[in-house]
Amino acid sequence: MEKDRKALESQINTVNTKLDALERYIRKTSIEIRNVPKIRGETRETLFKYAHTLITNLNVPMEQKNLRDVHRLPSKAELGSSLHKSQVIDAVKRYIKDNPKDSLNCTHMGIMNVKSSIYVSEHLKTKSKRLYFLARDVAKTMGYSYFWTSNDNVYLRRKEGDPHILIRTESQLFELKNTK
């Protein structure tokens, strides 16, 4: 009975690992754009136009055909490749750094009658979103200066020059919180 339980546990872990890899692959080219107001009469073509206008305003050289798909709820744009995704995310970071007083907003997407801030990030799977949320808390309470995501992985770094820590589990964050 114990042997069967361990075998089933092993199979479940294998399936979960494969599922994580599949989710990561599916989201490899996706970015998430949050806080975009819904406009009356909005269509998928409108969403494509908004996403392409944002990418153009970020000075990312990309043809509209490289924008594969756009969905609302959550606002998600699927780009042609992971390279395009990286270029857009890097351009967003550069824009934020170069324009600290002028946040990215709806006008950058061609929505002129609203100027609410928008937020662009990689589209994380649910587990990674939770880890990132918890990592932000650990970073603030434990004095880590840097926390970020890259390719659906969550990282922490105490200060410039220190090695980064790849966060894989909630228990790892719990251990970090209790080591000081």
CA distance 76 to 28: 12
pLDDT at position 173 over 70: yes
pLDDT band at 75 (very low <50, low <70, confident <90, very high): low
Per-residue pLDDT at 39 exceeds 90: no
Q: Which tens digits make up the pLDDT trace of 86-95?
A: 899 999 999 9
Sorted by sequence, the CB contacts under 8 Å of residue 51 that are 6+ apart come out as 33, 67, 70, 77, 109
> CATH classification of 25-122 is 3.40.50, yes or no?
no
Give pLDDT, residue 54.
93
- The percentage of the chain sitting over the pLDDT mark of 90, rounded to a whole number, equals 51
CATH 3.30.70 spans which residues of the chain? 25-122
Number of neighbouring beta carbons within 10 Å of residue 88: 23
pLDDT over threshold 70, residue 180: no
48-58 residue pLDDT tens: 999 999 999 99
Among left, alpha and beta (phi > 0; psi -120 to 50; other), residue 12 is alpha
Task: Name residues whose C-beta falls within 8 Å of residue 90's C-beta, 6 or more positions apart in sequence.
Answer: none
Angle, helix 126-142 to helix 170-177, in steps of 10 degrees: 0
Please give the average per-residue pLDDT across 150-177, as a whole number: 92
Mean pLDDT, the chain, whole residue set: 89
Mean pLDDT of 5-29: 89
Cα separation values, 125 from 30, 82, 128, 172, Å: 11, 16, 5, 18
Residue 74: the pLDDT is: 64
CB 122 within 8 A of CB 89: yes
The structure tokens listed for 112 are 């002129």
| Calpha distance 26→36 (Å, rounded) | 23
Percent helix, strand and coil across the chain, each rounded to 5?
50, 20, 35
Measured CA to CA, the distance from residue 95 to residue 102 in angstroms comes to 9
- For the entire predicted model, the pTM comes to 0.76
